[in-house]
């Protein structure tokens, strides 16, 4: 919790968020033969486990982690595209995870999502004009045609796409331009909260810079709050105000961006930061982790990171560490950090 | 003598209405055991370069002109049968997606033994022993059991290790790695890169590493080539290129990285997009996006010129260098 959240109400609050996906579809798949007897067994993917965090207004909270850590699932839960198995999501003080589709509608105008792949997120059979007009019409039925057109043209200009191209189809644009159009579509309804799931991962370096600049501009001009999902730590350092590190659906560390990069505490955060190849590096110099990420189907008991952690002991293998507030304001879930075992 | 010497390599693609030049007069050398990085954005021609070196271009692509001298022999002139003796044996390639490279219906052991026996006269048991040895070299735990497993039973990092083991199977002199870790997570990427570097150094294997990640190039290679729109625009020692890039595109590429700007500040972006190969601008291909471009740049293609240890294809750089030279001599 940052100091700001004590003064003002957070825009988004996740309380003990859980999401499990059942692997067995239907009754028959759950029936297994064990030791000569029929038993019922349910297997499920534990995608998100007891994640609690707040996002304040005007923040850019980054969620980082490797593939399979549940970062996209968290984004989809927040956007209401999936419903949680447990826990609560509060937006602007109101609980939203138990709302019906109709009750979610007014919120969708405030909350927009940008996806990773601009080749998949734009309908290939709709012109840019149609794709951009649709959300405006849907959320503002009182607007007349002229107003809708003006709104679309204004947003297109603000993302650097020439409004005279509006009758073209998505395939006529490059990846970077498509992502601008996807951002434009999110901005047409004047949202206050943007959920961006790896918005620049599919783009080239020089185009990444263009799109990141655009998102920073939109943040300043429109006072947007971002929930930014990425695996790229250099982008986090540049873009994020706070960072949440996920591992196997569990929150490892949550801290201000500067604190996290200057003084990472969780052994996984340290390994992750050291693994990023840097420009001035001469040869690899990373912390070697043992093994690879276990599957989220059968989560290890205790700390989810213990199978790869060099500091794991009996306690780590038995009980799951709780996120604890540190003196510098960061939150870390690690027995070794709690006991001060890492410093020795 | 260098292990590999590429001279004025031009690769074209015959399309229905026109012919597209994908690689335009690329020349470079690779010494024995040297590690070379090829960087550029999508569409620059990095992967086409890799495929051409393996002589793996398939229709409609073809080598239009130029030479690829591998150990003194021009491999562009070889028949498919002769090329097969070199490919996999003296040079090997590692691709981005290990799942596409491995045959899903054969076990790891079958694939490794098949490769070995295609090039060497070995019994099945002997080949298996070599396979186990190579799997151990890439730190695969319990390699004997892996031989009987299918690719889908292994994780992504493990599969890429096996690909590296297979590339090393016949002790090649050159490995071409095309974005070998792009599909992997950072912690796994770091392990794989360290392994690749270690193996290349200890076995004196030449490496051509094709990547878009300048950080990886910095860690792994001794020399770097920068490509843009099918042309080589800058080449030199990796340190020089990273610390003091000469070509405006290389400068732009490095400056666009988020770590080059203070957090929250506007990133230095390169305007525009890489041109499509069907519409390459006249003159310098980078001129429409270049902040230093003058009339000259839009009309005349700059030649690649050597300055000290670095070669650059840019009019503006040469002009700057000339004025410096005149001042020095005056």
Say if B219 is an interface residue toward chain A (CB within 8 Å): yes
What is the count of structural domains for chain A?
1
The owner of tokens 């090329």 is B83
Q: Which site among B39, B197, B209, B257 would you substitute to test the A interface, given the most A Cβ atoms closer than 10 Å to its Cβ? A: B257
B297, two tokens: 């740049």
Domains of chain B: 2-90+172-260+271-329 (3.40.50.300), 105-170 (no CATH)
A61: β partners = A227, A242
- Select from B260, B234, B238 the least CA-distant residue to B247: B234
Which CATH number goes with the domain that contains A88?
Answer: 3.40.50.300
- State the DSSP code for B148: T
- Domain span including residue A209: 4-257
A343 is a domain residue: no
A303 is a domain residue: no
Q: Which helix (H) or strand (E) holds A86?
A: strand A86-91
Q: Measured in whole angstroms, how far is the alpha carbon of residue B205 from the centre of its chain? A: 15
> How far, in Å, CA of A258 to CA of A241, rounded?
8
Question: In A124-223, which residue ranges form alpha helices assigned H by DSSP?
Answer: 128-139, 145-158, 175-187, 205-222
Task: List the Cα angle A164/A165/A168 in 5-degree steps.
Answer: 140
A302 is a domain residue: no
Residues 6+ apart with CB under 8 A from B11: B21, B22, B23, B45, B48, B52, B57, B61, B62, B63, B64
pLDDT in tens, A210-222: 889 999 999 999 9
**What is this model's ipTM?**
0.79
Q: Are B263 and A237 an interchain contact pair (Cβ–Cβ within 8 Å)?
A: yes
List chain B pLDDT tens, one digit each, 330 residues: 789 999 999 999 998 888 999 999 999 999 999 999 999 988 889 989 999 999 888 888 999 999 999 999 999 999 999 999 999 899 999 988 887 889 999 999 999 999 999 999 999 999 999 999 999 988 888 899 999 999 998 888 889 889 999 999 999 999 999 999 887 888 888 888 999 999 999 999 999 999 988 999 999 999 999 999 999 999 999 999 999 999 999 999 999 998 888 888 889 888 888 888 888 899 999 999 998 999 999 999 999 999 889 999 999 886 665 555 444 444
Report CA-CA distances (Å) from B227 to A196, B42, B46, B235, B268. 31, 10, 7, 9, 20
Say if B268 is an interface residue toward chain A (CB within 8 Å): yes
Report CA-CA distances (Å) from B220 to B54, B207, B238. 21, 9, 9
A304 is a domain residue: no
A310 is a domain residue: no
- Select from A28, A69, A15 the least CA-distant residue to A292: A69
The answer to whether the beta carbons of residues B258 and A238 sit under 8 Å apart is yes
Residue B257 with chain A: CB contacts under 8 Å: 205, 209, 234, 279
Q: Using CB atoms, pick whichever of B187, B218, B258 lies closest to residue A281.
A: B218
Q: Measured in whole angstroms, how far is the alpha carbon of residue A100 from the centre of its chain? A: 23
pTM score, whole prediction: 0.85
């Amino acid at each position: 919790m940052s100091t700001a959240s004590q003064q003002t109400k957070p825009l988004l609050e996740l309380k003990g968020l859980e999401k499990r996906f059942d692997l067995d579809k239907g009754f028959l798949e759950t029936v297994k033969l064990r030791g000569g007897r029929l038993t019922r067994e349910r297997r499920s993917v534990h995608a998100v486990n007891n994640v609690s965090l707040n996002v304040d207004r005007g923040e850019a909270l980054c969620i980082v982690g490797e593939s399979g850590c549940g970062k996209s699932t968290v984004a989809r839960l927040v956007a209401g595209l999936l419903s949680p198995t447990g826990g609560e999501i509060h937006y602007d003080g109101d609980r939203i995870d138990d709302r019906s589709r109709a009750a979610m509608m007014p919120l969708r105008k405030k909350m927009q999502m940008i996806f990773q792949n601009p080749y998949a997120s734009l309908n290939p059979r709709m012109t840019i004009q149609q794709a951009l007009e649709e959300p405006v019409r849907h959320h503002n039925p009182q607007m007349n045609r002229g107003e809708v057109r003006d709104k679309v043209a204004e947003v297109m200009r603000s993302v650097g796409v020439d409004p005279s191209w509006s009758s073209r189809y998505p395939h006529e644009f490059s990846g970077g331009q498509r992502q601008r159009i996807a951002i434009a579509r999110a901005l047409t309804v004047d949202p206050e909260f943007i959920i961006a799931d790896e918005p620049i991962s599919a783009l080239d370096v020089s185009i990444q810079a263009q799109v990141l600049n655009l998102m920073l501009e939109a943040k300043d001009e429109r006072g947007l709050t971002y929930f930014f999902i990425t695996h790229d730590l250099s982008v986090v350092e540049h873009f994020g105000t706070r960072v949440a590190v996920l591992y196997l659906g569990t929150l490892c560390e949550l801290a201000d961006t500067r604190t996290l990069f200057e003084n990472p505490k969780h052994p996984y955060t340290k390994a992750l930061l050291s693994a990023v190849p840097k420009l001035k590096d001469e040869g690899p110099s990373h912390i070697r982790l043992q093994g690879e990420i276990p599957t989220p189907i059968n989560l290890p008991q205790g700390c989810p990171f213990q199978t790869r952690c060099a500091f794991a002991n009996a306690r780590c293998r038995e009980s799951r560490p709780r996120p604890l507030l540190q003196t510098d304001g960061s939150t870390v879930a690690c027995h070794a950090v709690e006991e001060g075992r890492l410093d020795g | 003598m260098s292990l590999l010497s590429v001279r004025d390599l031009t690769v074209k693609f015959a399309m229905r209405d026109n012919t597209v030049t994908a690689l335009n007069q690329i020349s470079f050398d690779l010494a024995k055991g040297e590690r070379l990085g090829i960087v550029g954005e999508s569409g620059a021609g990095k992967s086409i370069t890799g495929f051409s070196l393996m002589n793996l271009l398939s229709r409609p692509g073809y080598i239009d002109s130029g030479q690829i001298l591998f150990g003194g022999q021009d491999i562009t002139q070889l028949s498919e049968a002769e090329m097969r003796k070199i490919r996999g044996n003296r040079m090997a390639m590692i691709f981005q997606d290990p799942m596409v490279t491995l045959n899903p219906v054969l076990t790891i052991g079958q694939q490794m033994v098949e490769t070995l026996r295609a090039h060497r006269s070995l019994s099945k048991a002997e080949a298996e022993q070599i396979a186990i040895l190579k799997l151990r070299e890439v730190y695969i735990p319990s390699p004997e059991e892996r031989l009987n497993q299918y690719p889908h039973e292994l994780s992504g990092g493990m599969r890429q290790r096996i690909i590296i083991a297979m590339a090393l199977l016949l002790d090649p002199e050159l490995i071409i790695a095309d974005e070998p870790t792009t599909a992997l997570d950072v912690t796994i990427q770091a392990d794989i890169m360290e392994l690749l570097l270690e193996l290349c150094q200890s076995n004196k294997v030449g490496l051509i590493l094709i990547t878009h990640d300048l950080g990886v190039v910095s860690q792994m290679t001794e020399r770097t080539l920068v490509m843009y729109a099918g042309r080589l625009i800058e080449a030199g020692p990796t340190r020089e290129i990273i610390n003091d890039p000469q070509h405006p595109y290389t400068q732009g590429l490095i400056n666009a990285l988020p770590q080059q700007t203070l957090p929250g500040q506007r990133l230095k972006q390169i305007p525009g997009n890489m041109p499509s190969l069907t519409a390459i601008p006249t003159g310098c291909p980078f001129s429409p996006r270049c902040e230093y471009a003058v009339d000259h740049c839009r009309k005349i293609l700059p030649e690649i010129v050597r300055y000290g240890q670095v070669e650059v294809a840019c009019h503006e750089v040469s002009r700057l260098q000339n004025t410096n030279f005149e001042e020095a001599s005056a």
